Amino acid sequence: MTESAFDSLDRTYIMNWLERLLACPSPSGYCMDIAAMLHTEAARLGYASETTPKGNVIVTVEGRETGPAIGLSAHVDTLGAMVRAVKGAGTLRITPIGGYAMQTVEGEYCTVHTRDGRKYEGTVLSTKTSVHVYPDAREWKREEENMEIRLDEDVRSREDAIALGIAPGDFVSWEPRTRMYPNGWIKSRHLDDKASVAALFGLLECLKREGRTPVRTLKLVFSTYEEVGHGAAWLPADIEEFIAVDMGALGDDLSATERDVSICAKDSSGPYDYGMTTRLVELAKRDGIAHAVDIYPHYGSDATAALRGGSNIRAALIGPGVHASHGMERTHADAILGTAALLIAYVTDER
């Protein structure tokens, strides 16, 4: 990416905002606190926002021209879990929220959020915790029924845990373990998709600071159920073009790196709009934004949900390249800034 492509973006703002987003627990269905953060920040930047009945946040930016709006989305919900049962020894069986391999959370520190607002820390462990005790601990399958949370409280029985107010249906969030380095590398859980949320707010901050107006009205949809498949299943009727901004998958025969903007031509829901995808590639080339075009065979996005929900839209998918998605993720600041720069070009350039 050329230096000029960075010029209009406030890197410090974007990185500081990303750090705040990552620190706020928000597994799918438990996004009240982070939604409040979005409303507060949008208002501080001078933009109107609203909440849909299911909790999505929509920020509107008026355009220069009348006509259909452009929708941009990123999801604030993350992977997590829910208490499925309180076990006899006071440990907790969990059920996953989102699609991840169970071994990726073994040993993870977590927080249990009770319905009355209490919070308790714990650790996700296999039910056969030690090779010194269980001869088959290494081979024990890391699947839902063989995993549990050990609470960092004085609990020895189911009754002890229940006395803390813990019950089935309580949400569980993972500790993000965020590290942001001076060389631009960022590693953390939940870069999917808070890195893209930060990019969209970088766009908003830039438009406001520079007094720029998009050609067409923008509606930024921050969804709260993407990880379970229906984040943006409903969209405002005036959206005609819709860009899902989500992390770019890396690995196997995919071309993107952690420093690139990944432009997805096709995922599990089929091809994305030819004209929109071509336009995004052209703008990236024109502005020297590091990018790659890839196919994601095991991937769905907010655009997938919108199309399957019946929205009559053209759709595209882009996002910062993220390594080890749904695991211990890593990206680079260049990819986040590149994503914001490409979106600014798309919404402000005359066609």
pLDDT tens for 92-125 read 999 999 999 999 999 999 999 999 999 999 999 9
Long-range contact set of residues 181-185: C-beta below 8 Å, sequence gap at least 24: 184/332, 184/333, 184/334, 185/258, 185/330, 185/331, 185/332, 185/333
Q: Do residues 68 and 210 both lie within one domain?
A: yes
Catalytic (active site) residue 106 = no
241 and 138 part of one domain: no
How many whole angstroms separate alpha carbon 296 and alpha carbon 137? 34
Computed over every residue of the chain, the mean pLDDT equals 96
pLDDT tens for each residue of 320-344? 999 999 999 999 999 999 999 999 9
Q: What is the pLDDT of residue 128?
A: 96
CATH number at residue 128: 2.40.30.40
Q: Are residues 27 and 159 in the same domain?
A: no
Residues 59 and 169 in one domain: no
Partners of residue 171 on adjacent β-strands: 82, 113
- pTM for the structure as a whole: 0.97
Among 174, 208, 232, the domain boundary falls at 174
User: What is the sign, positive or negative, of the torsion defined by CA atoms of 279, 262, 207, 66?
Assistant: positive
- Decide if 183 is inside a domain: no
Are 103 and 146 contained in the same domain? yes
User: Could you tell me which residues are beta bridge partners of residue 186?
Assistant: 180, 331
Q: Tell me, what DSSP letter sits at residue 213?
A: -
> Coil, strand, or helix at residue 110?
strand
Q: Are residues 161 and 200 in the same domain?
A: no
54-83 tens-digit pLDDT: 999 999 999 999 999 999 999 999 999 999
Q: From CA 321, how far away is CA 50, in angstroms rounded?
A: 29
Tell me, yes or no, whether 160 and 268 share the same domain. no
**Average pLDDT rounded to a whole number, residues 192-221:** 97
Same structural domain, 319 and 246: yes
The verdict on 89 and 228 lying in the same domain is: no
Q: How confident is the model at residue 7 (pLDDT cuts 50, 70, 90)?
A: confident
269: tokens are: 């829901």
**182 vs 6, which has greater pLDDT?**
182
Domain boundary (125, 143, 174) is at 174
Residue 351 pLDDT class (50, 70, 90 cuts): low
The count of structural domains within the chain is 2
Question: Is 284 inside a domain boundary?
Answer: yes
User: Is 178:188 a contact under the CB 8 Å cutoff?
Assistant: yes
> Strands across the sheet with 179-180, in order?
179-180, 185-187, 330-332
Kindly tell me if the per-residue pLDDT of 46 is higher than 90. Answer: yes
- Cα 170 to Cα 94: distance, rounded to the nearest angstrom: 10
Choosing from 148, 205, 226, 227, the catalytic residue is 226
- Does position 220 have pLDDT exceeding 80, yes or no? yes
Are 246 and 317 in the same domain? yes
Neighbours of 6 (CB within 10 A): 17
Assess whether pLDDT exceeds 90 at residue 5. no
Q: Per the domain annotation, does 184 fall within a domain?
A: no
Phi, psi of 343 (to 5 degrees): -65, -40
Looking at the chain, the whole-number percentage of residues with pLDDT higher than 90 is: 97
Give domain status of residue 185, yes or no. no
Q: Which residue range forms the structural domain that includes residue 227?
A: 3-78+190-348
Is residue 295 assigned to a domain? yes
Residue 90 and residue 216 in one domain: no
Does 338 lie in the same domain as 200? yes
In a domain, 181, yes or no: no
3-state secondary structure 12-51: HHHHHHHHHHHHCCCECCCCHHHHHHHHHHHHHHCCEEEE
Work out the average pLDDT over 213-233.
98
CATH number of the domain within which 277 lies? 3.40.630.10
At residue 226 the predicted structure's pLDDT band, cuts being 50, 70 and 90, is very high
In a domain, 182, yes or no: no
Asked whether residue 179 is assigned to any structural domain, the reply reads: no
User: pLDDT band at residue 4, thresholds of 50, 70 and 90?
Assistant: low
